[in-house]
Chain A
């Protein structure tokens, strides 16, 4: 029975590559997007590792230490990724009741589920973990056969996070509601990704690079002296490969055995425990929202728009995907002044303008991305808004205001940080905030236009309502719109006519807003809600 179940698991996994051509194209574009990650990581690490190999007395050891430490983070990431997935596939998946009704042993069912969860993490592993190992092997000058060991070790390794997550999930399921825990786990995963991303922006690997002017020998010694709390599966994986490059086959065998035994033990424990939990009372009750909806308390003509806005904000707050993307974009804005302004903050007016430019670009991209989500977040429920007595202008304005509300606070804080770091005077900082809020508006309107034109109103598959063209083109369109605005300000700075330039800039922003809204409305009215 297991092969049959696994066949279904693989069919589900590749379901997006079957069926309609549009669906296949979308899946292929997503895959191409993901394939970019390994190359990005390898382009960063291959050269760095080669340089580290020349650090006296500790070259190879240092590279291995670095990869093992990074792999500890990969292990945590995979565990956090698996946790909500385990809760879903082992307790909440809609096919579970059907599978239980079939003449199949429960252990077989849960083994198939275990494999299914593990397969779900393969993409993440290939995108983030595998490139590090490949870079390490290249730096250590590994023979081609070592890459085969790498694949075997990786195969054993990826079952471990699933096992660990399953144990944690089952322990939590005995104490709390699975539904609540799945939501919490998804939130924690999102926050981990946001914090890790922000942290990585502040990490300056150049301090560890002997070829860089920022090189700090003490940082190398500190890093070499630090050791993760081991022994960990990530260490076994990295050590097995390092030992293989040194032809220490006994160490290779021991580390691979440790991986194999851990994976097998965790899988067995998880499956047996899950079968036993079938006889226990597992809570599946959902979370309750304690507050009763408060009255908006405003004049009647604004009430429908405010109601739509409140609904959009509630959906954004509770939908983990939307919340994570908002937080990630917010974190990008907050981190950007620390990452970029130190390099370009030259004295002088134009230099000051340039020091804000990375923030301006990020502001435009962030606001357009969030505005682009505005219509797809409605999904099939859009029918309730469309058959209600509210104008399409109100609907579109709500989407634009949502993006403004989500991005404006981060933009203001990022402007203040940049102003502090560049020593901008108070009037200049206030003007920078006003300009950036205007750019947020430009981005939000542009995002809305792109959303109306490129959202697939495919009611049969609302998960993919924004098509790939929309996602890719919106960045270029919004940057083109922003570039005109930036050129106006820049021209004012160069010609010494700042006030005229700002006036022209604000007129330009108004025009973008007005034209964007008209164009969106014209298209919105023509759409058929079949």
Chain B
């Protein structure tokens, strides 16, 4: 359960997130928005990496401001750019994550399962710096999943993943939601959002434009609209004339 109210953050007088209110239950919630809309800033405030200028974040009823350590125990986070410790192996990194979350014994078996699912067992003793971008992404996803969090924050989780791994991840997330885990994720791949989400929220210029189940939003903004059409309708124009101009010169 995630509850954020009045969440606001500015950088150099530019409001990145503007009085955002959200409540997310045990569901797969997708947070959409164009580049620079404030998605990652929101995620960073929810995970304690940024202090909000205003507003509060509560994770399973625990306030991030008042009890940060207890709140941080609730979630796993996979950032958009994995940025892992390049000089560790995936095995060492996951062991490190398990140790700092205090779940080493239960976690080892889960780590083995996840390494198998994401086909990393063969590479778990290589240095992370020698892995491909997709493999690094898989390691960061394993790190988010391995300590059995009750909430998952995933920033573009399917970016850089091969189709098989993306499918495995989707299946895992659906299964976890059925078991009562809250999944809060951002994505630019609207097909993923369309097929997976229970509810979506669309943010633009730091403000919430729309929130609800996809079917309800379609009813609200125009039946027959695809998520892409809906997204574009709410967040900005398409430069059709400029594209035509470019194609004429091509």
Which residues of A are in contact with B by a Cβ distance under 8 Å? 179, 286-290, 292-293, 295-296, 300, 303-304, 306-308, 310-311, 314-315, 318-319, 379-381, 383-391, 528-530
| Contact of B34 with A by CB under 8 A | no
| Contact of B84 with A by CB under 8 A | yes
Interface segment out of the listed B95-103, B200-208, B229-237, B239-247: B95-103
Q: How many Å from the CB of B80 to the closest CB on chain A?
A: 11
- Inter-chain contact B48/A379, CB cutoff 8 Å: no
| Contact of B72 with A by CB under 8 A | yes
Interface string of B81-118 (1 = CB under 8 A from A): 10111011101100111011110100000000000000
- Inter-chain contact B100/A386, CB cutoff 8 Å: no
Known: A315-B85, A319-B87. A389 touches B126 (CB 8 A): no
Beyond A303-B99, A304-B100, 8 additional pairs, beta carbon < 8 A? A303-B100, A303-B104, A310-B96, A315-B85, A384-B85, A387-B48, A389-B73, A390-B69
CB nearest to A526 among chain B residues: B51
Q: How many Å from the CB of A227 to the closest CB on chain B?
A: 44
| Contact of B192 with A by CB under 8 A | no
- Inter-chain contact A389/B77, CB cutoff 8 Å: no
- Inter-chain contact B72/A389, CB cutoff 8 Å: yes
| Contact of B148 with A by CB under 8 A | no
Chain B residues near A388 (CB-CB < 8 A): 72, 97, 100-101
Give the top 6 A-B pairs by smallest Cβ distance, nearest first. Answer: A307-B99, A286-B130, A380-B83, A293-B95, A318-B87, A389-B72
Q: How many Å from the CB of B191 to the closest CB on chain A?
A: 28
Q: Which of B91, B129, B130, B143 contacts A384 (CB 8 A)?
A: B143
CB nearest to A378 among chain B residues: B85
Chain B residues near A387 (CB-CB < 8 A): 47-49, 72, 75, 77
Q: How many Å from the CB of A377 to the closest CB on chain B?
A: 9
Chain B residues near A287 (CB-CB < 8 A): 126-127, 130
Within 8 A of A (CB), among B44-66: 44, 47-51
Known: A286-B130, A288-B126. A528 touches B100 (CB 8 A): no
Q: How many Å from the CB of B76 to the closest CB on chain A?
A: 9
What are 18 A-B interface contacts by the 8 Å CB criterion? A286-B126, A286-B127, A288-B126, A290-B125, A292-B125, A303-B104, A308-B100, A311-B85, A314-B88, A379-B83, A380-B81, A381-B83, A383-B83, A387-B75, A389-B69, A391-B69, A530-B11, A530-B44
Chain B residues near A318 (CB-CB < 8 A): 87, 127
- Inter-chain contact B99/A289, CB cutoff 8 Å: no
A384 to B47, CA, bound (A): 10
Most central of A295, A304, A318, A384 by chain B CB within 10 Å: A384
Chain A residues near B95 (CB-CB < 8 A): 293, 307
A527 to B3, CA, bound (A): 25
- Inter-chain contact A385/B100, CB cutoff 8 Å: yes
Q: Which of B75, B83, B84, B92 contacts A314 (CB 8 A)?
A: B92
Q: How many Å from the CB of B60 to the closest CB on chain A?
A: 13
Q: How many Å from the CB of B103 to the closest CB on chain A?
A: 10
- Inter-chain contact B79/A292, CB cutoff 8 Å: no
CB nearest to A318 among chain B residues: B87
Chain B residues near A390 (CB-CB < 8 A): 69, 100
Q: How many Å from the CB of A302 to the closest CB on chain B?
A: 10
- Inter-chain contact A304/B72, CB cutoff 8 Å: no
A242 to B36, CA, bound (A): 65
| Contact of B70 with A by CB under 8 A | yes
Chain B residues near A307 (CB-CB < 8 A): 95-96, 99-100
Within 8 A of A (CB), among B1-46: 11, 41, 44
- Inter-chain contact B130/A179, CB cutoff 8 Å: yes
- Inter-chain contact B127/A529, CB cutoff 8 Å: no
A380 to B84, CA, bound (A): 8
Q: How many Å from the CB of A484 to the closest CB on chain B?
A: 36
CB nearest to B83 among chain A residues: A380
- Inter-chain contact B44/A529, CB cutoff 8 Å: yes
- Inter-chain contact B50/A529, CB cutoff 8 Å: yes
Q: How many Å from the CB of A286 to the closest CB on chain B?
A: 3
- Inter-chain contact B87/A295, CB cutoff 8 Å: no
Q: How many Å from the CB of A160 to the closest CB on chain B?
A: 32
Q: How many Å from the CB of A381 to the closest CB on chain B?
A: 5
